[in-house]
């Protein structure tokens, strides 16, 4: 709890600093060209410290059914606005296929029905958004580790990248497309699932239909909705802004552990 609050303050602080940089056009960056190096080292410290602290407490807290929030806000994209997505939705996602590729031995495709036939995990967890709201929900899906094992990772595999259907902001080069990434520790964590159901019902469009990530030891923006494909990479440096995610490319930290 304390670490969460401290982290929020840190995040809020860094957002304000980034805002001031953008608005003023000069300031912190000129006064202290090392500000990003400092932020990066703070991030490394946090990641190292959390990895050490979490050694003996590897699971995110799970809650009881009675604690499920009566309302769970829809945030970010409410519905991808491409024709491709509309057509998939129209058809109950019968034509949607999750593609797994990149540094794998066997590129695979799974329909929603295929995924639902695999062993599943259900967990009731709290979602924490950096904007300062939280909600408890029940998620059911396939452990990500299972599908990665089925595909077989090549020796240089380091990260799983989730490519989403939505563009959160319209850009000419398409860089407004949502994407996210996690390392293999989080990818194979037992509470990391590709969720197709929320609170015992198929995912709604608002919450990421047909498939979204739940990576329970991370903040809200890592929980990619509308997943179309998963790409296994050695580095995400040459994808879009090179920081490993839509929000990361806009200044948020890549490691958003809670």
Ligand X SMILES: Nc1nc2c(c(=O)[nH]1)N[C@H]1C(S)=C(S)[C@@H](COP(=O)(O)O)O[C@H]1N2
Q: Are strands 121-128 and 192-198 parallel, antiparallel or unpaired?
A: unpaired
DSSP state of 168: S
Q: Indicate which single residue of 221, 236, 240, 254 sits in contact with Mo ion (rule: CB under 5 A).
A: 221
Give the Cα separation of 171 and 74 in Å (integer). 23
Give the Cα separation of 198 and 138 in Å (integer). 5
Q: Which is nearer to ligand X, 154 or 250 (by Cβ)?
A: 250
Structure tokens at 125: 């967890």
Residue 241's binding partner, choosing from Mo ion, ligand X, none, with beta-carbon cut-off 5 to 8 A by kind? Answer: none
Count of residues that bind Mo ion according to CB under 5 A: 3
Q: Which is nearer to ligand X, 35 or 75 (by Cβ)?
A: 75
Measured between alpha carbons, how far is residue 2 from residues 6, 7, 88, 225 in Å? 6, 8, 43, 28
Three-class DSSP category at 195: strand
Q: How far is the CB of 203 from Mo ion (least distance, A)?
A: 17
Q: How far is the CB of 2 from ligand X (least distance, A)?
A: 22
Select the residue whose beta carbon is closest to ligand X and give its number. Answer: 76
Residue 123's binding partner, choosing from ligand X, Mo ion, none, with beta-carbon cut-off 5 to 8 A by kind? Answer: none
Q: Indicate which single residue of 80, 143, 220, 257 sits in contact with Mo ion (rule: CB under 5 A).
A: 220
Binding site residues, ligand X, CB under 6 A: 72-77, 129, 164, 166, 168, 178, 206-208, 220-221, 223-226
Residue 147's binding partner, choosing from Mo ion, ligand X, none, with beta-carbon cut-off 5 to 8 A by kind? Answer: none
Q: How far is the CB of 120 from Mo ion (least distance, A)?
A: 25
Residue found under tokens 């929980």: 223
Contacts of Mo ion in 112-151 (CB under 5 A): 129
Is there a contact between 244 and 159 (Cβ–Cβ < 8 Å)? yes
Residue 74's binding partner, choosing from ligand X, Mo ion, none, with beta-carbon cut-off 5 to 8 A by kind? Answer: ligand X
Secondary structure of the chain: what % helix, strand, coil (to 5)? 35, 25, 40
Bridge partners (DSSP) of residue 139 are 123, 198
Q: Which is nearer to Mo ion, 220 or 244 (by Cβ)?
A: 220
């Amino acid at each position: 709890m304390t670490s969460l609050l401290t982290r929020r303050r840190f995040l809020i602080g860094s957002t304000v600093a980034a805002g001031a940089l953008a608005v003023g056009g000069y300031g912190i960056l000129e006064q202290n060209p090392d500000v990003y190096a400092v932020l990066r080292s703070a991030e490394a410290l946090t990641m190292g410290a959390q990895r050490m602290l979490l050694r003996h407490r590897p699971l995110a807290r799970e809650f009881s059914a009675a604690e499920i929030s009566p309302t769970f806000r829809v945030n970010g994209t409410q519905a991808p606005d491409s024709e491709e997505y509309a057509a998939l939705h129209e058809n109950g996602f019968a034509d949607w296929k999750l593609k797994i590729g990149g540094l794998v031995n066997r590129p695979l495709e799974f329909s929603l029905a295929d995924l639902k036939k695999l062993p599943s995990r259900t967990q009731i967890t709290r979602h924490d958004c950096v904007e300062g709201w939280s909600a408890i929900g029940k998620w059911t899906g396939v452990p990500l580790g299972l599908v990665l094992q089925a595909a077989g990772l090549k020796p240089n595999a380091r990260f799983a990248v989730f490519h989403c259907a939505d563009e959160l902001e319209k850009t000419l080069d398409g860089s407004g497309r949502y994407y996210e990434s996690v390392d293999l520790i989080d990818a194979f964590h037992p509470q990391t699932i590709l969720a197709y159901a929320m609170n015992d019902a198929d995912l709604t469009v608002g919450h990421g239909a047909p498939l979204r990530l739940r990576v329970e030891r991370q903040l809200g923006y890592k929980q990619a909705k509308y997943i179309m494909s998963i790409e296994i990479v050695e580095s995400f440096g040459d994808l879009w802004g090179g920081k490993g995610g839509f929000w990361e490319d806009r200044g948020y930290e890549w490691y958003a552990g809670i």
